[in-house]
Amino acid sequence: MGKEKLPEPGGELDRVLSRFLRRFSFVARGNMERFANSLARHLKVREMPRDPLTVLPALGLDVARALLPPAERAQTKAEKEGYSILYSAHIQRPAARFAVWREFFKIIRAHHAFPSRLSDEVAEELADRFATCMLMPRAEILREAEKFRTNPEQIVAVLADRFGVSQTAMRRRLYELAILRPRSRAVHIQTTHDAAPREA
């Protein structure tokens, strides 16, 4: 999808987002973990992986594979009946999940109740952050990582499968959460106290 402005969501999606977005006075990187987890609860998504390919059609969105240009992983189309999110037929399901959540953030941003004005550059960054937090929620990652104190070699592959993401994406998230450390196979498991959210 290019930089064109999306029309505001309507129908059931409008009602769902209206009820949800009134809880937030702003959306930024610092509260994206809370934003994503609150949305998952609002949508009653309780299981991992949080798969947008099965979650979003219940909101009236058409989510489908399509032959997209090689550089494009997903795009959103606004039609009279509602939104369609198309994801590339050339990417695997873990990458498709990430790409579709990114596109859904752009739809959320187009809603009249979205509380923050974002530049396109910041919106793109937050779309990435939103997809990361939806697919790999911090608290869940820390909880699962506890199981790997005695078997750290398998943590990336097993958690990638558990959360439905690529091993590259999971490794990046584990580095971000300081569970894995660069140039080391050491696994540092944070304590429950460490796991408390640090956002506003």
Full-model pTM: 0.88
Structural domains present in the chain:
11-135 (1.10.10.2910), 137-200 (no CATH)
Give yes or no for a contact between 73 and 66, defined as CB atoms under 8 angstroms apart: no
Dihedral angle at the C-alpha atoms of 41, 47, 51, 56, nearest 10 degrees?
Answer: -40
Radius of gyration of the chain (CA): 17
- Average pLDDT score, the chain: 89
Once rounded to an integer, what is the mean pLDDT over residues 40-63? 95
In the predicted structure, residue 99 carries a pLDDT above the cut 90: yes
pLDDT tens readout for residues 63-85: 999 999 999 999 999 887 789 99
Q: Is 173 helix (H, G, I), strand (E, B) or coil?
A: helix
Residues near 57 by beta carbon (within 8 Å), at least 6 away in sequence: 63
DSSP 37-96: HHHHHHTT--SSS--HHHHGGGGT-EEEEE---TT-SEEEEEETTEEEEEEETTS-HHHH
pLDDT in tens, 100-116: 999 999 999 999 999 99
Q: What is the mean pLDDT of residues 147-174?
A: 93
Which structure tokens are listed for 195? 């796991």
Check: CB of residue 128 under 8 Å from CB of residue 102. Answer: yes
The pair of structure tokens assigned to 119 is 């530049």
Q: How confident is the model over 112-148, as pLDDT tens digits?
A: 999 999 999 999 999 999 999 999 999 999 999 999 8
Share of the chain above pLDDT 90, in %: 74
82-88 vs 74-79, strand pairing mode: antiparallel
End-to-end CA separation in angstroms for the chain: 31
Instruction: Give the pLDDT of residue 152.
Output: 82
> How does residue 7 score in pLDDT terms, banded at 50, 70 and 90?
low
Binned at pLDDT 50, 70 and 90, residue 188 comes out as low
For residue 1, what pLDDT band results from cuts at 50, 70 and 90?
very low
Q: Which of the two residues, 149 and 21, has the higher pLDDT score?
A: 21
Note the pLDDT of residue 196.
47
Region 38-44 average pLDDT:
97
Cα→Cα distances 152→36, 146, 147, 175, 183, Å: 28, 10, 9, 13, 14
Mean pLDDT on 40-64: 95
